[in-house]
Structure 1
Amino acid sequence: MTTSPDLDAVLSDIRACRACLGELPHTPRPVVRVFPATRLLICGQAPGRRVHESGLPFTDPSGDRLRNWMGVDYETFYADHRIGVAAQAFCYPGTAPKGGDYPPPRRCAELWRPRLLEALPQIELTLLVGGYAQVWALGDRVKPNMTGTVGAWRDYGPSILPLPHPSWRNTAWLRRNPWFELEVVPYLRQRVRGILGR
């Protein structure tokens, strides 16, 4: 399948973007992976350091956990073009002094997300991974915190599913909120099977 001209153009522009040059602790390296066939869009917050180095989204333990939630293996995740990844910000924002990455800069989403989403008309389900992605995408529909937003997951369907970030930093959150793996993960796997099974 060939890439549509509109998507080709926006991806070329995103990959050439240097809007944050001089503001990041490294040369910008936008990471985005979408295709004309993409039906399931994963919208995280921003690439981490390992993804910045590899140029491939979710090539880290967070990706392993996310794939487990989705019920797909590593090969399917990267080989099936019906799965796409486009974070709120496309470049690694750097690591804060106290650990954890800096928040994704809003500038990136403001510059690119409307144009990119317009070029992806086949999207059936968007996974909003983490609080920053949820705030950006849901606007005034977001709850006061990430737990509330993910807990209200039924309110956003069928086209949107909010998820916690699969980082190891959220392991304690997962233990405190067993309903996520009991209720949300089975629903997510069902939706993924439905999209990829056609």
Structure 2
Amino acid sequence: MKELLAEIRNCRLCEQHLPLGPNPIIEAAENSKIILISQAPGKVVHESGIAWKDQSGKKLREWLGVDEDTFYNKNNFAILPMGFCYPGKAKTGDAPPRKECAPLWHEPVWKHLEEVKLKILIGAYAANYYLGPGKLTEKVRDFEQFQPEFWPVPHPSPVNRFWRAKNPWFEQEIIPKLQLKIQEILC
């Protein structure tokens, strides 16, 4: 696993397409229990090199019901983005994750993960890649149909505050269930 992570962190495949250059972000251990499959690192994460060390990460940890020590323990959570590097800006938020990363690296990573109990799909890119096309809101609402392997959630970005405001059921009904599931896995 160490060799694979080093290889991913040294990847330069799409270097010419990245506005800030490559800085692949991934965290995992062979016995990671919960895998966070997300979009791509934002600019703040690119600069710090620490996954989810931004406002989105703060909201995600709140949703998961865990503190930073629990979150950053690789035996608890692996972080496997759809795109490992910051893709740049788009009109509304960040650009989509680069399409090269997931097909190239996800399968080799899965082969090393031996204790996975849950894969949390964060945002539409991850949900569509693993569950097929469709509306994220419906996938989030119908999360039970993807159990026990997957649990789709929206992206916790501040940009998505409007989605959360239009869908209060997510934080009222789904988040408590997700937190309970995470506590069961981590205990």
TM over 0.5: yes
Q: CA deviation at 1:65?
A: 0.6
TM-score, scaled relative to structure 1: 0.91
Q: Which residue does 1:4 correspond to in 2?
A: none
- Poorly superposed stretches of 4+, deviation over 6 Å: none
Q: Which residue does 2:14 correspond to in 1?
A: 20
| DSSP-derived class of the 1:89 partner | coil
Q: Is the 8 A contact 2:28 2:74 kept in 1?
A: no
One-letter amino acid of the counterpart of residue 28, structure 2: V
Match runs of 1:91-106 below 5 Å = 91-96=85-90, 98-106=91-99
Q: Distance in 2 between matches of 1:125 and 1:79?
A: 16
Match runs of 1:14-163 below 5 Å = 14-79=8-73, 81-96=75-90, 98-139=91-132, 142=133, 144-163=134-153
Aligned-residue CA RMSD in angstroms?
Answer: 1.2
The C-alpha deviation readout for 1:51-106, integer Å capped at 9, x for no partner, is 1011111001111111011110122211352211111111110112x241110111
The C-alpha deviation readout for 1:116-137, integer Å capped at 9, x for no partner, is 1111121110110000111111
One-letter amino acid of the counterpart of residue 118, structure 1: K
Q: Which residue does 2:160 correspond to in 1?
A: 170
Q: CA deviation at 1:182?
A: 2.1
Q: Distance in 1 between matches of 2:127 and 2:100?
A: 16
TM-score, scaled relative to structure 2: 0.96
Q: Which runs of 5+ in 2 are unaligned?
A: none
% of aligned pairs identical?
Answer: 40
Answer with 178-187 or 107-116: which moved more. Answer: 178-187
Q: Distance in 2 between matches of 1:124 and 1:43?
A: 13
Match runs of 1:3-18 below 5 Å = 7-18=1-12
Q: Distance in 2 between matches of 1:63 and 1:124?
A: 21
Q: Which runs of 5+ in 1 are unaligned?
A: 1-6
Q: Which residue does 2:177 correspond to in 1?
A: 187
Q: Distance in 2 between matches of 1:107 and 1:80?
A: 24
Q: Is the 8 A contact 2:25 2:85 kept in 1?
A: yes
Residue-pair matches, total: 187
